[in-house]
Chain A
Amino acid sequence: MMISQFFVLSQRGDNIVFRDYRAEVPKGSTETFFRKVKFWKEDGNAEAPPIFNVDGVNYFHVKVVGLYFVATTRVNVSPSLVLELLQRIARVIKDYLGVLNEDSFRKNFVLVYELLDEVIDFGYVQTTSTEVLKSYVFNEPILIAPARLQPIDPAAIFTQGAKRMPGTAVTKSVVANDPSGRRREEIFVDIIEKISVTFSSSGYILTSEIDGTIQMKSYLSGNPEIRIALNEDLNIGRGGRSVYDYRSSSGSGVILDDCNFHESVRLDSFDSDRTLSLVPPDGEFPVMNYRMTQEFKPPFHVNTLIEEAGRLKAEVIIKIRAEFPSDIIANTITVQMPLPNYTSRASFELEHGATGQKTDFKETNKLLEWNLKKIVGGAEHTLRAKLTFSQEFHGNITKEAGPVSMTFTIPMHNVSKLQVKYLQIAKKSSTYNPYRWVRYVTQANSYVARI
């Protein structure tokens, strides 16, 4: 289970950090890796898989904020272990630097080396716990201004739309002190749900799934114990029924197909009262991951119509309706639809008085794109696109276009109805009352309507 080297490359292929633990892999592995990834297929279509072998050296990589985190080894190791490790290294570095990007990386590379020395020794993982690492690492992070933060970070979703969220909170380093010299006592619990829905051409749901995470980031001093209470009517496992056997969700509570937990979580009273207890280590980590295929109400309804208008013209009408309460606002919505490849032109018509909407026809890959800054619950929006074809179409035009896919973020809304009922922090004194943030968000993972 040992790795030979670890390195981080920028998008251009520059070494940002490079650590050789076992001196088994010949020089030039960074170039070999980069060339292979860049030119995986001659046509550049297919992405390089996360694991490949060149001349007996196995290369593992994950992409985080546009950087390649790479490990090499000659040994037949567990692939999950190495990929998990790479992801974890990225998380530890983020815990330290507050913001993870090329800039912060380059400013702090000595600190990163220091971390890497403690995370891995002679290729064997020692620890990836920010908590444990704190006592071995001495460099102070050089923080970069959060203003330069790009919304690439999943945590950045909270900085938009929801005013009561302190925008900088999630970009704080776990070790650095505030300029004031005082640390704010606070803890964040985020319920992040990624939903996948496929609608058939007639509009009914073919498949749907929620992949949720309860993520925690603690800035509490002294590591107090925490209790998280979930819905009392929460059930896990769908018994002997087939997983896709939908039934009415009325009154049956929240049913998770399955879930797993962070190693710090104790489940002593989980069966009786659905509470999780843990002493949160420093840094960001998932308390619980869950998966759910129980029927839920999809947040958006999509309706697409294609009408032929003469031999070289057609009109596409896309209608989206927000199926959530009007006090909820979805943001950064993108709707995409591939058009027939003989489409030469597309002209768009937005509804009257539309604001914050953008349309685009991407000529190279014949893609229609519609961006909306926000959608208020209950609202409906329509896009009309007039297409001009360079040749006469034959057969069925719907087979040449679509499907319509959507991405969006809906803060303060979760479709599973899983809730954190309360968050209890073991009190150190009567005056101890740290800030607790419980935040919900729903994001599209794969949201597709066939036409």
Chain B
Amino acid sequence: MAPPAASARYPSPSQPSGKSEVTDLKSQLRQLAGSRAPGVDDSKRDLFKKVISYMTIGIDVSSVFGEMVMCSATSDIVLKKMCYLYVGNYAKGNPDLSLLTINFLQRDCKDEDPMIRGLALRSLCSLRVPNLVEYLLGPLGSGLKDNNSYVRTIAVTGVLKLYHISASTCIDAEFPATLKSLMLHDSDAQVVANCLAALQEIWSLEASHSEEACREKESLLSKPLIYYFLNRIKEFNEWAQCLILELAVKYVPSDSNDIFDIMNLLEDRLQHANGAVVLATVKVFLQLTLSMTDVHQQVYERIKSPLLTLVSSGSPEQSYAILSHLHLLVVRAPFIFASDYKHFYCQYNEPSYVKKLKLEMLTAIANESNTYEIVTELCEYAANVDIEIARESIRAVGKIALQQYDVNAIVDRLLQFLEMEKDYVTAETLVLVKDLLRKHPQWSHDCISVVGGISSKNIQEPKAKAALIWMLGEYAQDMSDAPYILENLIENWEEEHSAEVRLHLLTAAMKCFFKRAPETQKALGIALAAGIADFHQDVHDRALFYYRVLQHDVHVAERVVSPPQQAVSAFADTQSSEIKDRIFDEFNSLSVIYQKPSYMFTDKEHRGPFEFSDEIGNIPITPETSSDIVPAQQYEANDKDLLLSTDEKDDNKGLSSNNGSAYTAPYENSNISSQMQELAISGPATSATTTQSSFDFDDLLGLGLTAAPAPTPSPPLLKLNPRASLDPRAFQQKWRQLPISLTQEFSVNPQGIAALTVPQSLIKHMQSHSIHCIASGGQAPNFKFFFFAQKEAEPSDYLTECIINSSSAKAQIKVKADEQSTSQAFATVFETALSKFGMP
């Protein structure tokens, strides 16, 4: 804990000299405990305050526990509250002493003052002592029935606390059922809101091992319940409104009328002054309209203005949170914000984390109509006193240049940066000019004349130095003194600390040599010698490689090192679209702030109840298993733990027994298959268990090393295990780990579309083709399924995401496979199977 306050100006939490102070307190408290003298409550208040101030600054005052409890016999509510606070803090560490408090807390739970009943109940439930839970049941039971709503709100949260101390006690006492009925019938909005919060938490945690809890959890998303909440949303305070809106996000509307009804009900929430309410509403709107492109776009237009107002009305911290969300929307739909670019200009006094976001937004929305203004503005920032922002601004100009066709004006501006003669400006600009030349080699002439004028002595940053060296090598023919500059740099090889720069020096020397051999030969020789002697492995290797390839044949060397220039059309995006989609699905959460999906920064039990953080995203998921289809169940689509999460679940359903093969553990797949690969290639299999496996494998590769007893004629080439199993957790893990090996789109025949009105039928149909559904969701016209299949007798899995649009009659599949080479074969099997769907 923090060191005690250093200042002596504050009498209460002043510096205690140590243990003696606590001992002192102890004896003083003891004196007062039995006293009935007038004014004793005031003295107690002072002492209690002292105890709590020590507690706050981290001094252990648990040793006065007994005395505090003795002093707690009072009718003074302020004293009682301080005592409760103290007890709540130390009970966990003193389970024996806590027993002392039970008595007076239980008594207070029956006090005639509802305030005292409530406070006592709250403290009783906050003790967090597992062996005292039996004492909670009575007071909680009566608290839930109390005629005072304050006591009931506390009792409801008390149930949740009990659940966290002892889940079984809470469930056995059937408290969740009581909460459910309170939620539907209580007249007090806060009681209802607390019930909702508690039930969401309890059922989400229970859902992993109780089907009933799954059903209950899903029932929270039923249409009547959602409307029950939404119709009276204004009765709730703003925080409870957020809770309700978070729930509504997960509701699957039955049709478009349903969607519009909800949006109309919530329209005025967008005018709320609380940013949290507005963002939660925005999320509902965005998710509801995902499948309705036009309306979705209208939603963007509608939410723009309220969000901008929130950005400018709150504290800098609040604007940052809102701005991060705007940032996400801007990057997703830049064209919608293109005319609002001035809102994203940086203000002089903004913190740099805000400026960074704004620079990225300006970069994203730059288009033909606004580029000139945006770039002009960014150039102003390049002279900013905040060097980091100046750098970012220059990078932003560069990025805009890279994404535009007409870079004429921008190139001029970039070149002007070089004239500013500020080290960091020059450094950033050089890197950009290099990238720009890679994309637009036609500009080389203008750039090179300016770059040639830069003295390499002024450039210290490795990235910038590397960029300059790259240009020297690449454009050696246009820069008259390129060989000499390089020679200079090479002579200072020893002082060059960055391996990146030394690598570039080697390559540039080679390129220069091919263009202007007589002038460079000497320098190249020195560079190669220094490189080969270099302690850095990469530098050494490259130098040696260049040396040998030159020895072998100079022309070959030229073809290798200096092939004809090719313009780079697009630079790799740093974030995959899959990750971006996932962050969008987690709108209004920390994922947006960190620009990472939640699985990257939270452990699974803290990802929050009712959170959808999976690629399955906004679509609620119906998990399917090969043996047991439970259509009514919807599971939270969390990352690892979604769907049917635990192993016990599999056992319950006898899934593992379905799997005839010895390889039950899916995560061993890659090991085993590689092991098998060796076996298959090296000859006849020796192990009995692998013999059968290798058949299919060989067959697939057409090796024919072993005589297959029943060779499958092609097509279909691929034989799938009809009884394959994969637990959802493993599915999740694999889906994340494996790259997409294949994406394909094909048409679905009209019969298939017709049959899709009952999505379950597709699942059964695919299952009959040994392709098993693990999760499904969506509503017309967009259906989404996750399938998996396994190779016959060989645990090599195919994971497939299949999106079927019933109005366009198209199916799109993404396949991820353990063996990528066979994914095309699998896709063929999949398409064949799908094409038979709906056929008699």
Q: How far is it, in angstroms, between the C-alpha of A198 and the C-alpha of B377 when the chains are bound?
A: 11
Question: Which residue from B10, B115, B592, B602 sits with its C-beta under 8 Å from A56?
Answer: B602
Contact B602 A75 (CB under 8 A): yes
Q: How far is it, in angstroms, between the C-alpha of A20 and the C-alpha of B56 when the chains are bound?
A: 11
Find the residue from A28, A124, A211 having the highest chain B CB count within 10 A: A124
B412 within 8 A of A: no
A217 within 8 A of B: no
Question: Which residue from A31, A56, A291 sits with its C-beta under 8 Å from B2?
Answer: A31
Chain A 379-406 per-residue mask, 1 if CB under 8 angstroms from chain B, else 0: 0000000000000001100011011010
**A residues less than 8 Å from B611 (CB atoms):** 76
Tell me, rounded to whole Å, the shortest Cβ–Cβ distance linking A260 to chain B.
Answer: 5
Contact A286 B273 (CB under 8 A): yes
Q: How far is it, in angstroms, between the C-alpha of A106 and the C-alpha of B58 when the chains are bound?
A: 15
**A residues less than 8 Å from B278 (CB atoms):** 260
Contact A405 B388 (CB under 8 A): no
A369 within 8 A of B: no
Contact A113 B154 (CB under 8 A): no
Tell me, rounded to whole Å, the shortest Cβ–Cβ distance linking A386 to chain B.
Answer: 22
Chain A 5-28 per-residue mask, 1 if CB under 8 angstroms from chain B, else 0: 000011011111110100110011
Chain B 114-142 per-residue mask, 1 if CB under 8 angstroms from chain A, else 0: 01000000100010100000000000000
Chain B 564-598 per-residue mask, 1 if CB under 8 angstroms from chain A, else 0: 00000000000000000000001011111110001
Q: How far is it, in angstroms, between the C-alpha of A51 and the C-alpha of B354 when the chains are bound?
A: 12
Contact B77 A46 (CB under 8 A): no
Chain B residues within CB distance 8 Å of chain A:
1-6, 10, 12-13, 48-49, 52-53, 56-58, 77-78, 81-82, 85, 89, 92, 115, 122, 126, 128, 150, 153-154, 157, 160-161, 190, 194, 197, 234, 237-239, 242-243, 246, 271-276, 278-280, 305-306, 308-310, 312-318, 320-322, 324-325, 339-340, 342-343, 345, 347-353, 377, 380, 383, 385-388, 419-421, 586, 588-594, 598, 601-603, 606-608, 611, 613
- With A56-B606, A84-B318, A213-B313 already in contact, 15 other A-B pairs whose C-beta atoms are closer than 8 Å: A1-B246, A12-B5, A15-B57, A15-B58, A46-B352, A56-B603, A63-B317, A80-B279, A121-B154, A129-B237, A206-B345, A286-B273, A291-B309, A445-B347, A450-B380
Interface SS of chain B: helix
Q: List 23 A-B contacts (CB under 8 A).
A: A9-B2, A14-B2, A15-B56, A18-B58, A23-B128, A51-B320, A53-B594, A76-B586, A76-B598, A80-B279, A83-B318, A110-B78, A114-B81, A121-B157, A121-B194, A136-B150, A138-B78, A198-B345, A243-B342, A286-B273, A338-B385, A395-B419, A399-B420
Question: Which residue from B3, B388, B608 sits with its C-beta under 8 Å from A46?
Answer: B388
Given A78-B279, A138-B78, residue A121 in contact with residue B350 (CB < 8 A) = no
Given A196-B347, A395-B420, residue A244 in contact with residue B588 (CB < 8 A) = no
Chain A 53-64 per-residue mask, 1 if CB under 8 angstroms from chain B, else 0: 100101001110
**A residues less than 8 Å from B85 (CB atoms):** 113, 117
**A residues less than 8 Å from B602 (CB atoms):** 56, 74-76
Q: How far is it, in angstroms, between the C-alpha of A24 and the C-alpha of B160 when the chains are bound?
A: 15
Find the residue from B280, B324, B383, B420 having the highest chain A CB count within 10 A: B383
Nearest to B190 among chain A residues (CB) is A126
Contact A260 B349 (CB under 8 A): no
Question: Which residue from B48, B160, B237 sits with its C-beta under 8 Å from A127?
Answer: B237
**A residues less than 8 Å from B115 (CB atoms):** 136
Contact B603 A258 (CB under 8 A): no
Question: Which residue from A74, A209, A450 sits with its C-beta under 8 Å from B312?
Answer: A209
Tell me, rounded to whole Å, the shortest Cβ–Cβ distance linking A25 to chain B.
Answer: 10
Tell me, rounded to whole Å, the shortest Cβ–Cβ distance linking B392 to chain A.
Answer: 11
A79 within 8 A of B: yes
A290 within 8 A of B: yes
Tell me, rounded to whole Å, the shortest Cβ–Cβ distance linking B153 to chain A.
Answer: 7
Tell me, rounded to whole Å, the shortest Cβ–Cβ distance linking A382 to chain B.
Answer: 22
**B residues less than 8 Å from A62 (CB atoms):** 315, 317-318
Contact A87 B314 (CB under 8 A): yes
Contact B313 A260 (CB under 8 A): yes
For the complex of A and B, the 3 pairs showing the least CB-CB separation, nearest first, are A446-B347, A81-B276, A50-B317
Contact A14 B315 (CB under 8 A): no
Q: How far is it, in angstroms, between the C-alpha of A63 and the C-alpha of B589 when the chains are bound?
A: 21
**A residues less than 8 Å from B160 (CB atoms):** 122
Contact A78 B242 (CB under 8 A): yes
A314 within 8 A of B: no
Contact A78 B347 (CB under 8 A): no
Contact A260 B589 (CB under 8 A): no
Nearest to A125 among chain B residues (CB) is B239
Q: How far is it, in angstroms, between the C-alpha of A113 and the C-alpha of B48 when the chains are bound?
A: 13
Given A46-B388, A446-B350, residue A87 in contact with residue B607 (CB < 8 A) = no
Nearest to B77 among chain A residues (CB) is A138
Number of interface residues of A (CB under 8 A): 99
A242 within 8 A of B: yes
Nearest to A366 among chain B residues (CB) is B385
**B residues less than 8 Å from A34 (CB atoms):** 2
Q: How far is it, in angstroms, between the C-alpha of A344 and the C-alpha of B194 when the chains are bound?
A: 64
Given A14-B5, A260-B310, residue A405 in contact with residue B238 (CB < 8 A) = no
Interface SS of chain A: mixed
Given A80-B275, A262-B273, A289-B309, residue A446 in contact with residue B607 (CB < 8 A) = no
Question: Which residue from A75, A117, A258 sits with its C-beta under 8 Å from B608?
Answer: A75
Q: How far is it, in angstroms, between the C-alpha of A136 and the C-alpha of B154 when the chains are bound?
A: 13
Given A49-B320, A76-B606, A109-B52, residue A258 in contact with residue B309 (CB < 8 A) = yes
Chain A residues within CB distance 8 Å of chain B:
1-2, 9-10, 12-18, 20, 23-24, 27-28, 30-31, 34, 45-47, 49-51, 53, 56, 58, 61-63, 74-81, 83-87, 103, 106-107, 109-110, 113-114, 117, 121-122, 124-129, 136, 138-139, 196, 198, 206-207, 209, 211, 213, 237, 242-244, 257-263, 286, 288-291, 338, 365, 394-395, 399-400, 402-403, 405, 445-446, 448, 450
Tell me, rounded to whole Å, the shortest Cβ–Cβ distance linking B359 to chain A.
Answer: 14
**B residues less than 8 Å from A258 (CB atoms):** 305-306, 308-309
Q: How far is it, in angstroms, between the C-alpha of A237 and the C-alpha of B306 when the chains are bound?
A: 11
Q: How far is it, in angstroms, between the C-alpha of A87 and the C-alpha of B276 when the chains are bound?
A: 12
Question: Which residue from B4, B81, B316 sits with its C-beta under 8 Å from A117?
Answer: B81
**A residues less than 8 Å from B590 (CB atoms):** 51, 53, 58, 76-77, 79
Q: How far is it, in angstroms, between the C-alpha of A50 and the C-alpha of B315 when the chains are bound?
A: 11
**A residues less than 8 Å from B321 (CB atoms):** 50-51, 79-80, 83
Contact A395 B421 (CB under 8 A): yes
**B residues less than 8 Å from A9 (CB atoms):** 2
Contact B352 A47 (CB under 8 A): yes
**A residues less than 8 Å from B386 (CB atoms):** 45
Given A79-B324, A80-B318, A117-B85, residue A139 in contact with residue B246 (CB < 8 A) = no
Contact A448 B306 (CB under 8 A): no
Contact A263 B318 (CB under 8 A): no
Contact B320 A50 (CB under 8 A): yes
Q: How far is it, in angstroms, between the C-alpha of A125 and the C-alpha of B352 when the chains are bound?
A: 31
Find the residue from A76, A395, A403 having the highest chain B CB count within 10 A: A76
**A residues less than 8 Å from B275 (CB atoms):** 80, 83-84
Contact B588 A261 (CB under 8 A): no
Contact B309 A79 (CB under 8 A): no
Find the residue from B3, B85, B310, B593 having the highest chain A CB count within 10 A: B593
Q: How far is it, in angstroms, between the C-alpha of A434 and the C-alpha of B51 when the chains are bound?
A: 43
Given A75-B608, A129-B237, residue A263 in contact with residue B6 (CB < 8 A) = no
**B residues less than 8 Å from A288 (CB atoms):** 273
**B residues less than 8 Å from A257 (CB atoms):** 305, 308-309
Tell me, rounded to whole Å, the shortest Cβ–Cβ distance linking B283 to chain A.
Answer: 9
Q: How far is it, in angstroms, between the C-alpha of A25 and the C-alpha of B340 when the chains are bound?
A: 42
Tell me, rounded to whole Å, the shortest Cβ–Cβ distance linking B250 to chain A.
Answer: 14
Nearest to A56 among chain B residues (CB) is B603
Q: How far is it, in angstroms, between the C-alpha of A84 and the C-alpha of B320 when the chains are bound?
A: 11
Contact B309 A446 (CB under 8 A): no
Given A56-B601, A75-B606, residue A128 in contact with residue B239 (CB < 8 A) = yes
Nearest to A128 among chain B residues (CB) is B239
Q: How far is it, in angstroms, between the C-alpha of A24 and the C-alpha of B92 when the chains are bound?
A: 13
